[in-house]
Every structure is written in C-alpha cells, then in structure tokens.
Structure 1
Amino acid sequence: MAQSFSVRYAESLESVEADAWDACANPPDASDSVGERHNPFVAHAFLRALEASKSVGARAGWSPAHTLVEDSRGRLVACAPAYIKTHSLGEYVFDQNWAQAYELAGGRYYPKIQVAAPFTPVTGRRLLVAQDAPEGARDALILGLQGLRKASGASSIHVTFCTEEESVALSDAGFISRAGEQFHFVNEGYADFDDFLSRLTARKRKSIKRERREALGDDLKIDLLTGSDIRPAHWDSFFEFYMDTGARKWGHPYLTRAFFDEVGARMADRILLVMARRGARHIAGAINFLGDDAIYGRNWGALEPLPFLHFEVCYYQAIEFAIRRGYKRVEAGAQGEHKIARGYRPTITHSAHHFADARLGQAVSDFLTRERAAVAEWASEHAAELPYKTEPGG
C-alpha cells in the first residue's frame, strides 16, 4: 500500500520541534555524498538563530516558508529550509542577470523560492529526509516545494549548494542543474602542518612559511576559542570585524549582532573563533563552524590591513586545526583562486533551478549547458596549478 503524505509550511522554526527537524537534517550515523555526517548549517539551532536574531525575515527579504512533509501518523519525515525572497542577495549562486532579462521581457522574477542555508555557500543536503522515512518522502518534498511556488506566486525555485545526488534527483523532477567551483583543503592524513608543507613544492613551501611569519610579526598572537571559552566580549570584537569587512566588501552586512549571541548560545561547541590579538586587544578574527568531518570557514574581518593576516587567520589556522583534530577537509567559502597556492583544491558545487515560465527555463537551460562545460574546464585548469609535488624531493 502506498504511503500517504501531507505537506505544510512553517513561517518560523519556532513552531517545529528541534529534535524532529534534526532527525531529518542530521540523522545519527548518516553520511551523504560529500562525506559529511553533520552539517551545522541545516541544523535547527543555526536556522533558528537566524530567525530569532532577525537576520532573516520579511524585512531582510528572506521570509521563511520551511516545507514540511509528514507521514500518515503526523510524524515529520522530510523537510527543506525554504524562503520566499524578494531579491537575490546573500546566495552566492548568482541569478541577477536572469532576473534582469526576464523583467526586461515583461516578466516578474520576484518573489522566488530559495532552498538554502542563508548567507552560507556551503555544500550539504537541502532535501532533508529522515533515515527511516517511508519511500516517496523526498518526492513528496519536491512536490511540496512546487506547491509553495504556486501558492506564493513565485517565478522559480532555487536549491543552492545541494549535494550532487540531490542535483540528479531534482534534474529527474524537471529542475535544471547548475555547476560552480570552490576550493577546499583535503586532509590526506597529514601528521602535522609541517607534514602538509613537505608535500608542496619547495617554492610554495618557503612562500607559506614566509607568509605565516610576516602575518603575525613579533607582536600578534592567535587565540583559538570554542565552546564556553567564547564570551560576549569576543562576539563584540568579532562583530566589529565583520561589520568593517562587510561594509567595504558588500555594502550591506547580512547578519545582526544578535545572531552571534543566538548562535553562540545554541551551538557554541560547533564554533571555532580564530582571533588575532595584540596584547589584550583582538584586531582580527574568523568564525568557523564545525561539522563532524569538515571545518567551514565563514566570515572574517580585521581592523588593520596587515599583509598575509587574512591567509593566516582564515586558511592556515584552519588547516592546522583540521590536521590536529582529524577533520577530513576545510571549506573556506566561495570563490578565491588565491586559495590554490595555499593547497586548496578545486571542487565542483551543485544547484538546481525550476521555472514556472517554460521560455525562461529554456533560456536558462541553454546558458547553463555552456556554463557547466566552462566550469569543468576551469576546474581542470586549476587542478593543474596545485602546488603539490609531483615527484619525491620536489
């Protein structure tokens, strides 16, 4: 007998039991196609912190419409972090050109449906299905997202930074696949940072040693803070860094000061703050979130434009921490070809898109066919630029 499902939508995760959501988002003993057993950015605690701090919401142009699938007993068996959006900011998979072209042709691109971890270019599961969900739960979830699009009058659905397996499933459901490129450090079982350096060419090895030495000089120290070691004063300092960088880089920082208090209270053990200190005063820092297999570098900032400090705080400290704690990889955010010289490998990312207007869908499909080929070529070229030795003693 086929299982029957019901679909509903939640305007806030406050109305969704955390354990029920997390049983779908991060089921125990699970792994997915990117080898991640726990992804902090789809956890109830992280998404709820965004809502409670008003980092997302109607005023931010990210109105939660989380899609929930329940079985015949009313048990949550699948869900997706979904938002009705009135702009394309904070996504890192860029579709502004699509919006402009569609509106010039007389269409209305916004609102649209975004299935994502807001402001977070991190690959992970987006179609969250409990391990013991009945067959058909994911199909019901995809249908639920399509129902949300119709009910909200949205032009499209965008599932960003999903897994490759999810991208294939969405393609089978009529979505259009898109590829992107990031750069990730892969821990090849290094004994320590020096062991990692020993695998690089002599020139790159010397360059990284020089960068690390000059980044800190004689007067900067690094504090690694997690769990109860993170105090309100640390968040005050980090928010100052974040606002300075955000104002210069984007013009509109997305996260509120309250977000850092909220996320710190809800999941401090999943956070690593790397803070550069001169004397008693912190002058730069980066926030990382900890999965079970990966370290995710997110935001950084500095009050002084010191050479190489960004590389030390964001890249080298994360690599060193990953090696010491046995993490499989470090994901240091979107884009950044400069990461290649520091040992970060090109990695293909995936998203999936569905359009109500078949003409727009066909135009986007044609563009993405060409773009996917270009991304594959870029990744191949970048792989050839990696600084690892090809022969012993190089």
Structure 2
Amino acid sequence: MYQVRSIEGISEISAKDWNHLCGQDYPFLRHEFLHALEASSAVSPSTGWTPCHLLMNEGRQLIAVMPMYIKTHSYGEYVFDWVWADAWQRYGLPYYPKLLTAIPFTPATGPRIGTHHPLNKIVPLFIEAIQALGESFNTSGWHGLFTEPELTQIGKDQGLFTRLGTQYHWFNRQYSDFEHYLAHMMSRKRKSIRKERDKISKLNLRIRCLEGHEIDSTALNHFYQFYQITHLKRGRKGYLNRAFFEQIVQKLPEQLMLCSVERSTEVIASALFFKSSTTLFGRYWGATEEIDGLHFETCYYQGIEYAIRHGLQRFDPGAQGEHKIARGFEPVDTWSLHWLAETGFQPALTQFLEEEHQHIRAQQDDLRTYLPFHKNTHSQED
C-alpha cells in the first residue's frame, strides 16, 4: 500500500501539494524556499547538490514528503563530517556521493518531513527507501541535519546514529521591552551591553526594520552587495546568488525582515532575517565598513527588540558564536541523524560520537556559567 519514489526537482510537485503536508509556518521547508534554491541554480548538480526529494504515497494519496539531495562534498551543511570523509578515504572507500536531508545553507532546526500522519509510522518507511536508494546510487550513507526532537528520537529508535551539536538561542520570557530584558541581568553585564549600544547610538545612524514588500529592489541591491562582501572577506563567493534573494522577496515577503543601517542617505549595512509565528531566524549580514559594535547591534540587539515587539518566543541567530553567550543567548542542543552503509566503521563511529557527546555536554555546562543573568533567572533548560 505504501510507495516511496524520488523526484529530481521540487518543481515536479506543486507548491499546493508540498505545502499542504509541510505547512507554511516554518519558512525553510516551504516549497517556495526550496524552489528558489533550485530555480536560481544555487542548488544544482553543478554546485554539488543534486535534488532527490522523496514522496510517499498510500495508494494514490500523497501522504509524506522529505527533501533530500545527493551531495558530492560537505560544504553548506554546518554539521562537519570532514573527519569522517578522511577516514573513508584512508580506508580506501569513497565517502562521496552521500545522501543528505537538510535545508541547504541553513543551519536551523525544524521539521524535515512533511506529513499529517504520525512520524513513527512514516520514518521507518523513509529509512527503508533511503537505504535502497543509497545502494542504487552507491552512496556512503545518509545524513539528516538539524532534525527536530521527535524525528531525532524516532531515528535513534530505528538504529540510526545521533550526533549532538550546540547553538546559541535567545528566549523571550515575556519581556515588555529591551530594558526589561536587561533588568534580568547582573549589573556588570547589563552595563556592558548598554555601553555597547550607546556607542552605536552616538554615531548618528538610522536603523530601520523593513518588512515584506518594504524590501524593494534598492534595499535588496544594498543587502546583496553586503552579503557578498562578507563572504569575500573569507576568500570565497557567497553560496546564494541574487536570483535566489529576488525570488524569496517575491514569494515569501511575509516571512522576511531586513534590518537596514543608514548614515545620512547612504546604506552601510544590513541583515536579513526570516520568521515564523514563534521564531526569528537571523541568517545573512554584511557591511561596507568595519564599525565596532555594529554587527552586534544589527544582528543581535535589533533581533531581540524585534522579537519582544512582536511577541516571538525564540530568536535563532545562526550557527556558532560563543560571543553570543554574554548577550544572553543560551546554549541549546542541535541534533543530526546518520546511517552509514559501511558497517565496518560502526564501532569507531560509535566511540567518536560518544566522546564528542561527552565533550559537548561538558562545554555546554561550562558555557552556562558565563550567562549574564541573575542566578535566579530560569535558564532554557528549566
């Protein structure tokens, strides 16, 4: 009764059918977002991302979908497996291609399967299909990145490897405004943030939060220039091209916010955010000049103020960055799932993941001691 097939592009299924199963609140699983990646060729075989999305039918009825890609490298994933690839190579086996379920270039935890059925019914069927596809495509395995807790647990119960990671998120504890938020901090930490923000406020800059269709072509031109400047400083061009950003501004305006920084009539920096009904996602940033504290103001403090103003529960500012701790972003777990076809690596991989898990837990415990809040302030773990 159940059939799973793969398609070679998101355009092979209608936005209506895909979004009916995935919903439209979490922006990165929406058909429009994934289609923009493919239509702009940011995701394509030539960039090492070959779409291979899975569709599940019960009889004639489509009941579940899952994004998936055949990868020929590990760039743009943010769960680093270069050590694994090296081990495969030294063992005389190819690590690439591999199968990947993830949102390209987007390290944001969220749903990875769209369905109205219980996940514990759907996941085993997808795993079976993935393993069959892995064999037919001669891949080293499959990886599911930044999986939500329910999917992570079901995958673990099905015998998949689980891998722990850390990000730093801000949580809204019914703050009325930014000062109310600061009031929950120790005096020294509170003064440090005020000093940091005061430094920017004295520069006579205008900071605006543009939403939806307020993000016009001029604002997008400035942002895209800044986005590429940020990546060129690291010696490479940004993964995403202007065509991608044009499409998401056109197709997902209600889920975008652009923080624009202006000096007189000149735009000098901007940061692009996505949002759901509960969460703000900080994604891309850039500036034409280095101004001490401007990155923190634009990407973090403005995001916190926006989340408070709009009653959002959480602010996910993106991957990495222990410097976020001092500004009230708390360590949170991220998870990934893994299936490897070569069983000979399982003992070594099990040991690697256990040791990494212990190290990350110890690091998280240590990092929480640096949070700026009063001791009686509840942490996210509570």
Q: Same fold (TM over 0.5)?
A: yes
- Specify which of 53, 74, 80 is matched with residue 66 of structure 2: 80
- How far is 1:340 from its partner? 0.4
CA–CA distance in 2 between the matches of 1:365 and 1:319?
A: 39
CA–CA distance in 1 between the matches of 2:119 and 2:313?
A: 32
CA–CA distance in 2 between the matches of 1:245 and 1:134?
A: 39
Q: Secondary structure of 2:246's match? A: helix
Q: Does 1:338 align with 2:323?
A: yes
Tell whether the 8 Å contact from 1:80 to 1:126 is kept in structure 2 after alignment.
yes
CA–CA distance in 1 between the matches of 2:344 and 2:119?
A: 36
- Specify which of 156, 170, 188 is matched with residue 171 of structure 1: 156
- How far is 1:250 from its partner? 5.8
RMSD: 1.5
- 1:40-119 alignment runs, 5 A limit: 40-73=27-60, 75-119=61-105
- How far is 1:44 from its partner? 0.8
* Partner amino acid, structure 2, of 1:70: N
Q: Does 1:255 align with 2:252?
A: no
- How far is 1:132 from its partner? 4.5
> Percent identity at matched positions?
38
Deviation sequence 1:147-200 (CA, Å, 0-9, x none): 221221110101000012211211222210000000000000001111001111
Tell whether the 8 Å contact from 1:288 to 1:295 is kept in structure 2 after alignment.
yes
Q: Does 1:125 align with 2:111?
A: yes
Tell whether the 8 Å contact from 1:5 to 1:137 is kept in structure 2 after alignment.
no
Unaligned stretches of 5+ residues in structure 2: 378-382
Q: Secondary structure of 1:102's match? A: helix
Q: Where does residue 32 of structure 1 map in the other structure?
A: none
CA–CA distance in 1 between the matches of 2:308 and 2:270?
A: 20
- How far is 1:227 from its partner? 0.9
Tell whether the 8 Å contact from 2:123 to 2:155 is kept in structure 1 after alignment.
no
- Specify which of 354, 363, 380 is matched with residue 339 of structure 2: 354
- How far is 1:391 from its partner? 5.5
- Specify which of 205, 212, 218 is matched with residue 220 of structure 1: 205
- 1:188-337 alignment runs, 5 A limit: 188-249=173-234, 251-337=236-322
Tell whether the 8 Å contact from 1:222 to 1:277 is kept in structure 2 after alignment.
yes
Deviation sequence 1:190-240 (CA, Å, 0-9, x none): 011110011111111111111112134332111111111010111111111
Deviation sequence 1:112-163 (CA, Å, 0-9, x none): 01100000110011132x2247973332222222222122111010100001
Tell whether the 8 Å contact from 1:127 to 1:141 is kept in structure 2 after alignment.
no
Deviation sequence 1:75-101 (CA, Å, 0-9, x none): 221111101000000000000111012
- Specify which of 4, 8, 12 is matched with residue 5 of structure 2: 8
CA–CA distance in 1 between the matches of 2:205 and 2:113?
A: 44
- How far is 1:69 from its partner? 0.6
- How far is 1:387 from its partner? 0.3
Deviation sequence 1:328-364 (CA, Å, 0-9, x none): 0100111110000001011010001110001223322
Unaligned stretches of 5+ residues in structure 1: 28-37
* Partner amino acid, structure 1, of 2:20: A
CA–CA distance in 2 between the matches of 1:187 and 1:241?
A: 29
Change (3 A) 1:356 1:372: same
Tell whether the 8 Å contact from 1:78 to 1:141 is kept in structure 2 after alignment.
no
* Partner amino acid, structure 1, of 2:125: A
Q: Does 1:22 align with 2:15?
A: no
Q: Does 1:156 align with 2:153?
A: no
Tell whether the 8 Å contact from 2:119 to 2:151 is kept in structure 1 after alignment.
no
Q: Secondary structure of 1:292's match? A: coil
User: How many matched pairs?
Assistant: 377
* Partner amino acid, structure 2, of 1:101: A
Tell whether the 8 Å contact from 2:49 to 2:70 is kept in structure 1 after alignment.
yes
Tell whether the 8 Å contact from 2:64 to 2:116 is kept in structure 1 after alignment.
no
Change (3 A) 1:391 1:86: closer
* Partner amino acid, structure 1, of 2:46: R
Normalising by the residue count of structure 1, what TM-score does the alignment of the two structures yield? 0.93
Normalising by the residue count of structure 2, what TM-score does the alignment of the two structures yield? 0.95
